Amino acid sequence: MASLPFSAASFHSTFICFNYKARNPNLFFLKKGSSFTFSRRKFIIKSVASDQRQDLKEEGQITEEASLDTFVPDSASIASSIKYHSEFTPSFAPDHFELPKAFKATAESVRDSLIINWNATYAYYEKINVKQAYYLSMEYLQGRALLNAIGNLELTGAYAEALKKLGNNLEDVAREEPDAALGNGGLGRLASCFLDSLATLNYPAWGYGLRYKYGLFKQYITKDGQEEVAENWLEMGNPWEIVRNDVSYPVKFYGEVISGPEGIKEWVGGEDITAVAYDVPIPGYKTKTTINLRLWSTKVAPEKFDLSAFNAGDHAKAYSAMKNAEKICYILYPGDESLEGKTLRLKQQYTLCSASLQDIIARYERRSGEFLNWEIFPEKVAVQMNDTHPTLCIPELIRILIDVKGLSWEQAWNITQSYINGDLSTRTVAYTNHTVLPEALEKWSLELMEKLLPRHVEIIKMIDEELVQTIIDEYGTEDLDLLQEKLKQMRILDNIELPESVAEMIAKLEKSSVEAIESTEEDDVSDEETEPTAEEDELEEEEIEEKNEVPPIIEPDPKLPKLVRMANLCVAGGYAVNGVAEIHSEIVKNEVFNDFYEMWPEKFQNKTNGVTPRRWIRFCNPDLSKIITKWTGSEDWVVNTEKLVTLRKFADNEDLQSEWREAKRRNKVKVASFLREKTGYIVNPDAMFDVQVKRIHEYKRQLLNIMGIVYRYKKMKEVSHEERKSSFAPRVCIFGGKAFATYVQAKRIVKFITDVGATVNHDPEIGDLLKVVFVPDYNVSVAEMLIPGSELSQHISTAGMEASGTSNMKFAMNGCILIGTLDGANVEIRQEVGEDNFFLFGAEAHEIAGLRKERAEGKFVPDPRFEEVKSYVRSGVFGPYNYEELMGSLEGNEGYGRADYFLVGKDFPSYIECQDKVDEAYRDQKRWTKMSILNTAGSYKFSSDRTIHEYARDIWRIDPVVLP
């Protein structure tokens, strides 16, 4: 974006673009002295480019030694910029400068700087034609952007002062920003942390996602539990996005594939929509690098509007094509219980993949110019699939290369993923696995996919045939039992006949095997010297029948659906596969994709997740950040978290401990005020703040937490007031998280938590010794409030089921002590912070299968304390709601939704005994504070900067590019 040659006479200001080489932003108005009013004025346009330097010198803003490149905007110039946008970038009536308008104008002024830096970043990338990484994700849980952006630009103080001059407070203005509803949980938050780190570390990269109109949903907590309404985050517009109407791509559904001359395939007919780009600049910390998050919105061409039908009164028919296109980007994860829901989800995934791949290829062609060479495409492009949602980018890339660009199958397949001379070379597409849950390893109906994406099914079948041939080459044909087992486990197509060529080959092998057996038997008979007895005859016939048995060709079961296994397609079509924590990556190699790992061990890597220390401590916890800076000697820890280790040598220092406790208490007071505002509950900031905030799911075991609280409450009720005070440390138990709208059991858990809270919080006998609070509509902004004030954080998933977790890292980074199982990143966090500074309980991952088997065999004997809690819940003490289904899920030995699959009952005794240790430790505040300091000191490994360095080095093979 070029600098704008405007002079706003009404403001007596000069509009300047500062294109600097240093660290600071550079597009502002420079105030010349008039007061701010909103009356209408004549807007005079004037070219001032040649006068910029002289004007600045006259105003005393720069000296001979300085330059526009090093100019640091002050609060006056920022205030002028905000005033300009409040009048000339209007989204509100001109009469008042109230908080909503102040936020929009402030954000627009920041965006000006980001656009300048964004353009400079990508102009340089284009100029040097550097290899770039492209991150495809269905979710980006960004949170509020204002404080993060001005913090990264090192302008927090200047903006605070500017807004103060305009009669506003920066924190109040920032609270006006809605959270971008582009994500659900850890998957989306990780993607956003990665973008922050990519920009901060100067790596050339893009993010791609969808621009959801309503996101997931807004959560309300009522007497009936969770209720969902559409999220309205775009209601007042999004000041951070730049619509690129000139960047759009066609996306097709349905239709048919026809063969042209020389075997060229063409996908024709069907439903056509258009994906339009919306760009969101992502600034790095203390760097000019500003990368891009490109979000796609969907629409149709105006001619698709049926004007004749509309004028005839058939309005639904007139705009049906428009609505079909627009609804693709209405909400994140539409319910998929119906065929329509499944179809919409698949449309979403394909739209993301198709638009993004077309954009990536168009930019590659533009950068290449007349020297276009498809063989070096992987040397310029790395595509990372964040989970299985973007899997369709594999067949889509091949489709574009073959059908549109005219490459052969071999060329297109080698560009996507190649296996040459026994070595996997770095190609284009890589895959991050985020889950071991079978339901999250996506499988799509072949029938649905054939209908919606007919050309892609053809390509997937070709990839499947390529994979089958590779498996045969690897394992040979001597052991047909082994071969068919490998094919069954590894094929992309499930319950589908083998490719014709392979089926014929196996049939020939089976026939040869039978003939060889018969020939051997004939030879044996001819060598016999005596006639066999009748008994010997019968026995010989049985032996012959047994020998003649050969493994049957894999035949589809007509009773089962035909499926496309997306995770298998990711592994087969990608050149790298990574898990997101050490224990998770081992499970991926040894269990989830063991057959693939045995064949391609070099494909598999671990990349332990991380979180950005800018948002998750520097900006959200300024009090603690100041203490860390003081005791480590500088602010270097914000980008070099290894510096946090310095805190270990001061962990026993009384001065540090005193400052640490004071900072924690100030944050707790803020949390208490927030809880009162959001829920009406009044809590004591001197009690322990015990927090579990994450997506509501049975494997995350919020149910174990609340059952433990019920046990605690029951024991409190059974003793005297004096015993209560001496035996139990005061606690505020805080929950937050959304249950997916169709996940009935998760919604029952939410209802149960709120019912327990309603009973406990109004019990005068208990008072401040125990409070239970469910925070509605948990999001990034709520997390930024809760995490700095938390003292105990619960990460208590069934071992082996949480891939990594990232909130555990955020809590540890903020000096919160974790209670948890040896699951996901908990394992590594415990290693780094020290075993004595982590509250461990529960079964380990390698025990889980045996424990479930024990349960199925009826050998499990529940702890009496667990049975006591279930009976207490069933007694109706928490209200009239029938919790039989919820309690019943913890009982029985088999059956879907029963038999305590997530081992709540098994781990319950260990959990409540561990909570006793928590109480004991909390009573010794010196010990607790030391544990808190050591958690922050040990969190250094869990910066997303470290994770991104590893992705860049080991998977993408890209290098940092520092702008000149």
Q: What is the pLDDT of residues 668-685, one digit of tens each?
A: 999 999 999 999 999 999
- The answer to whether 769 and 726 are in contact (CB under 8 A) is no
* Best CA proximity match to 947, nearest among 184, 167, 203: 203
DSSP-derived secondary structure letter, 559:
T
Of 434, 603, 618, 751, which is the active-site residue? 434
> What's residue 529's pLDDT?
54
Mean pLDDT of the 571-599 span = 96
| 33 pLDDT more than 60 | no
Whether 695 sits among the annotated catalytic residues: the reply is yes
Catalytic residue, chosen from 565, 603, 694, 697, is: 694
User: Is 515 a residue whose pLDDT tops 70?
Assistant: no
Which CATH number does the domain 372-497+561-609 belong to among 3.40.109.10, 3.40.50.2000, 3.40.80.10, 3.40.50.300?
Answer: 3.40.50.2000
Q: What is the DSSP letter of 816?
A: P
Mean pLDDT of 8-23: 35
SS3 content of the chain, % helix, strand, coil (to 5): 50, 15, 35
List of residues 6+ apart from 688 with CB closer than 8 A: 729, 730, 731, 732, 791, 792, 918, 922
Q: Which has the closest alpha carbon to 231: 808, 640, 738, 852? A: 738
- 17: nearest Cα among 8, 28, 6: 28
Count of CB atoms situated within 10 Å of the CB of 687:
20
**Mean pLDDT (whole number) for 120-149:** 96
Give the DSSP per-residue string, 584-609: HHHHIIIIITHHHHHH-GGGEEE---
Burial class (CB in 10 A: 0-12, 13-18, 19+), 476: exposed
User: For 553-580, how does the pLDDT look when each residue is reduced to its tens digit (9 = 90+)?
Assistant: 578 899 999 999 999 999 999 999 999 9
pLDDT at position 24 over 50 = no
Residue 700 known to be catalytic: yes
DSSP result, 188-220: HHHHHHHHHHHHHTT--EEEEEE--SSBS-EEE
Q: Comparing 28 with 205, which gets the higher pLDDT?
A: 205
Which of the following is catalytic: 213, 252, 380, 700? 700
**Residues contacting residue 670 through CB under 8 Å, at least 6 positions apart:** 785, 788, 789
What is the model's pLDDT at position 74?
87
pLDDT digits (tens, 9 = 90+) for 819-861: 999 999 999 999 999 999 999 999 999 999 999 999 999 999 9
Confidence band, pLDDT 50/70/90 cuts, at residue 502: confident
- Specify the pLDDT at position 523: 59
Q: Does domain 622-844+922-938 have CATH number 3.40.50.2000?
A: yes
Annotated active-site residue in 83, 664, 795, 810:
810
Q: Is 127 one of the catalytic residues?
A: no
Rounded mean pLDDT, 4-33: 36
**pLDDT tens by residue, 297-318:** 999 988 888 888 889 998 888 8
Q: Residue 20: its pLDDT value, please?
A: 35
Q: What's the DSSP call for residue 954?
A: I
Backbone torsions φ then ψ of 699, nearest 5 degrees: -75, -20
* Beta-carbon contacts of residue 637 (< 8 Å; ≥ 6 apart): 613, 628, 629, 643, 644
Residue 55 pLDDT > 50, yes or no? no
pLDDT of 29 > 60? The answer is: no
How many whole angstroms separate alpha carbon 204 and alpha carbon 218? 35
| Mean pLDDT, residues 714-740 | 96
pLDDT band at 504, cuts 50/70/90? confident
Q: How far is CA 93 from CA 167, 228, 774, in A?
A: 18, 31, 38
Quick one: pLDDT at residue 79?
Answer: 94
Convert the pLDDT of each residue in 363-412 to its tens digit.
999 999 999 999 999 999 999 999 999 999 999 999 999 999 999 999 99
Helix runs in 527-638, H state only: 534-548, 566-573, 582-587, 594-599, 613, 622-632
Catalytic status, residue 941: no
Q: Which of 83, 664, 695, 712 does the annotation list as catalytic?
A: 695
Q: What pLDDT, on a 0 to 100 scale, did the predictor assign at position 293?
A: 98
Q: What is the mean pLDDT of residues 8-35?
A: 37
Q: Determine phi and psi for 430, rounding to 5 degrees.
A: -130, 160
Confidence of residue 866 (pLDDT cuts 50, 70, 90): very high
Q: How many other C-beta atoms can be found within 10 angstroms of the C-beta atom of residue 402?
A: 20
Which pLDDT value is given to residue 898? Answer: 87
Asked whether this chain's domains 75-244+275-295 and 622-844+922-938 adopt the same fold, the reply is yes
pTM over 0.85: yes
Q: What is the dihedral of CA 801, 802, 803, 806, to 10 degrees?
A: 180
Check residue 5 and give its pLDDT: 31
Write the Ramachandran bin of 28: left for phi over 0, alpha for psi from -120 to 50, otherwise beta.
beta
Q: Which CATH class is domain 75-244+275-295?
A: alpha beta
* Whether 870 contacts 849, CB under 8 Å: no
Q: What is the pLDDT of residue 17?
A: 39
Q: Rounded mean pLDDT of the chain?
A: 89
Strand (E) positions, 90-200? 132-136
pLDDT given for residue 596 in this prediction: 97
Confidence band of 332 (pLDDT split at 50, 70, 90): very high
Active site residue 917: no
Phi-psi category of residue 680: left, alpha or beta, with phi > 0 → left and psi -120 to 50 → alpha: left
Residue 584: active-site member: no
Task: Give the active site residue among 14, 290, 432, 806.
Answer: 806
SS (H, E, C) 314-357: CHHHHCHHHHHHHHHHCECCCCCCCHHHHHHHHHHHHHHHHHHH
The pLDDT, as a whole number, for residue 19 is: 35
pLDDT band at 97 (very low <50, low <70, confident <90, very high): confident
pLDDT tens-place string over residues 160-181? 999 999 999 999 999 999 999 8
Instruction: State the pLDDT at residue 425.
Output: 62
Q: What is the pLDDT of residue 896?
A: 74
Q: What is the mean pLDDT of residues 485-493?
A: 95
> Is-contact 397 460, C-beta < 8 A?
no
Say what the pLDDT of residue 934 is.
Answer: 98
Residue spans of the domains in the chain: they are 75-244+275-295, 372-497+561-609, 622-844+922-938
Do residues 553 and 513 lie in contact, with contact meaning Cβ atoms separated by under 8 Å? no
Q: Are 938 and 829 in contact (CB under 8 A)?
A: yes
